[in-house]
Amino acid sequence: MSELVVAVCQFRPTEDREGNRMRITELVADAASRGARLVVFPEYSSYFVDPMDASFALHAETLDGEFVRALQAAASAHDVTIIAGLVEAAGERVRNTLVAVDATGLRATYRKQHLYDAFGQTESDWIEAGELGIPQTLDIDGLRIAMMTCYDLRFPEVARTLVDAGADVIVVPAEWVRGPLKEHHWTTLLAARAIENTVYVVAADHPTPIGIGHSQIIDPQGVVIAGVGTGDGIAVAQLSQEAIARVREVNPVLRLRRYGVVPR
């Protein structure tokens, strides 16, 4: 059966784009030394300030810009695939984009579909929502990876479209803003997406005080198999196709589903 070692890297992106790239390069080296083949970073890894403002458009990059080139160099140096959040240029506004990059270059992208206009925040003031469409996936060591971003976690249909596209692992880069019960929402929703779809969920957040931390890797039964606390750190776990198959044998929810059924 196929196996994949995954690392989630919890770090604090800032307005220093070069500093963010350097920190990511250091964390990739650390994760690779622990055996990781897929290394996941948070939302807005290329640039972030709080509160959000017009500087996002000034510091946005294209998909062939410095950030993606730095990811490719790190991926090539350590034989890994990297997923991270990019502030992507889109005219006067920007896109909240995830990029998956390996030694060959850009493998897949995902643009945040549901903008964070909740809990007193208005992400849509600065960000352009991604278009709905067929999810992009990539295969690494025999497991199929798909992506979604932060607030998308609250919409179960997003995860279901990824699983219907064949995903074995859902990667969730986030900047999960702190607030009342937000840690509870985060852990509950991550586990729910894993349980209801019988897939692994790999989630990377910003540390406190702006984010909540608690980046984690969750198995298809909703069990956290590796995680980070509230500060900077790396969590590593081994994922296996065998574990997914074992869970689906005893709990065949995808096969028994009667709404929008896709044969598995």
CA angle 65, 67, 68 (to 5 degrees): 75
Distances (CA, A) of 250 to 160, 169, 256: 19, 19, 12
**Measured between alpha carbons, how far is 78 from 91 in angstroms, rounded to an integer?**
34
What tokens were used for 247?
């869970």
Please tell me the number of Cα atoms within 13 Å of 54 on its side-chain side.
1
Whether 150 is catalytic = yes
What tokens were used for 21?
């790239």
- Choose the catalytic residue: 61, 88, 123, 150: 150
**Measured between alpha carbons, how far is 23 from 32 in angstroms, rounded to an integer?**
14
Nearest to 202 by CA among 254, 143, 251, 247: 143
**Measured between alpha carbons, how far is 32 from 170 in angstroms, rounded to an integer?**
20
Distances (CA, A) of 53 to 48, 132, 255: 10, 26, 45
CB of 163 closer than 8 Å to CB of 199: yes
- Choose the catalytic residue: 9, 43, 123, 175: 43
The radius of gyration computed from the CA coordinates of the chain, to the nearest angstrom, equals 17
Task: Supply φ then ψ for residue 209, to 5 degrees.
Answer: -95, -10
CB of 212 closer than 8 Å to CB of 178: yes
Whether 182 is catalytic = no
Strand partners, 250: none
- Choose the catalytic residue: 9, 61, 112, 175: 112
Residues classed as catalytic: 43, 112, 150
